[in-house]
Amino acid sequence: MSEQYLSPKLNFLPPLVYHSEPCRFTYVFYYFWRIHCFRRQVIISKLFKFCRQLVGQSEAKAAPVTCTEPKLIPRSEHNISRKQFSPNAIKVLYRLKDGGYDAYLVGGCIRDILLGIEPKDFDVVTNATPEQVKKLFRNCRLIGRRFRLAHIVFGREIIEVATMRGHHQGQDSKNPISQSSEHGQLLRDNVYGTIEEDAERRDFSINALYYSVNDFSIHDFANGIKAIKERKIELIGDPETRYREDPVRMLRAVRFATKLDMQIAPATKAPIKELADLLSNIPPARLFEETLKLFLNGKAEQNYHMLREMGLFKQLFPTLDAIIEQSDSGFESRFIAQMFANTDQRINADKKVTPAFVYAALLWFPLLKRSEQLQQQEQMPVFDAFAQAMNHVLAENSQHIAVPKRFTLGARDIWHIQMRLDKRGGQRAYRLSQQPRFKAAYDFLLLRVESGENEQQELADWWTDYLKQDINGQKEMVKSLPSQEAGKPRRRYRRKPKKKPQNND
């Protein structure tokens, strides 16, 4: 046999001299035997690869199945007591029960108590419609257009009562109670149903837990108790469909994972990157509320890193994310991470944190970039470019996240003071320190230095010493400033009084 018939991949046989027929036969037999072994090896490897892919797909596509028959956990088998609930929530449950309706405590309050966390909110679900709930409670107000809810007001505490949700018909613009967009997002969802249907409409299995005051049992519809023990965040139903119904669920998955110290299940996590751009369909006002929950819950730094990992931060702050990605030094990312770390420390120490400071930091680098562009392209003075950049950045951000004016005004003050911190001569340092937002602006300066902006170290140290001094010490510090910084007092010119016209009479 000539060597030209050998496959290049199988050209591993030693060259032989074919002097006899038996030698040639042995060579051919050996050649075909090696081909057979090679093919078998390829087939086995492909088979193993297919099996691995199949197992991986089954893990990625596996989703918890909602149980039509709930697991009833009697009072003797769980540690939840009525004493752990708000007395007002118990009042709502019993009044609904006395009115002939079914009522359950549901969701986060049950989950948190099982995890040993003190619940903050108590949500009630009932088969009574919002209008029927309003007839039972004089202190009730109906809110919501997309989801019709009843709020029972007890002073500062509000008990939210929702009617059990049912299945809808999908996209039907003529349906007054159910409507969805072309992306599958639910725009209106006032479809009522049974408790089994309501459990299927819940987002995560750990939230599909219902507490009944009839027998004090827990109704577990989606293996939520098991998910809590395994510390998993699992969506109920097909993840892609559920994310399309409400893209905010992607943000909620991140928040629950960090808040409860759990892992997002592979099936729940898999489609997030691909569907992250659906957040652009969410109203900016709702995204503001969700970002507050993400950044002011004591887990902001973890949420920040996880949002960036899953491609969600880019949808919330696209300009800032692009600046961070293009940065060579990594200063911007350190600055944001340090800001969130400091925010977590203050919240965990029961100190106040204003959203104005958080958004001033998140929009600081887009502000600097825009200001620099205006100075270079339009030859604008520094202060004019900075002021115009503020308007541009805040207007651009409002298209993604609608920050209320009371917080944008606070952010503006913090930014303005950053430009005036080095102007300390005369009475300027004292007047600046009396500004309402000065403490926040001073903390902002310290954050810049702490993140690596070393050129501001001397200025930060001066203000730190200045704030420790009494009024006399502060005056001495201002006098000891360099002459070009202290400045000379302005000379005031008085207008000469006009001469009265002389009467020649």
CA distance 209 to 106: 6
Instruction: Give the residue numbers marked as catalytic.
Output: 121, 123, 203
H or E stretch at 90:
helix 87-98
Residue type, position 133, single letter: V
Map tokens 């001033």 to a residue. Answer: 360
Listed residue (238, 359, 367, 244) closest to 294, CA to CA: 359
CA distance 120 to 103: 19
Instruction: Transcribe 317-333 into DSSP letters.
Output: -HHHHHHHHH-SS-HHH
Whether 153 and 145 have beta carbons less than 8 Å apart is answered as no
Strand partners, 103: 126
Listed residue (316, 321, 255, 328) closest to 288, CA to CA: 316
Q: What Cα–Cα distance (Å) separates residue 30 from each residue in 13, 16, 35, 39? A: 9, 12, 9, 14
Instruction: Transcribe 335-370 into DSSP letters.
Output: HHHHHHHHHHHHHHTT----HHHHHHHHTHHHHHHH
CA distance 318 to 434: 35
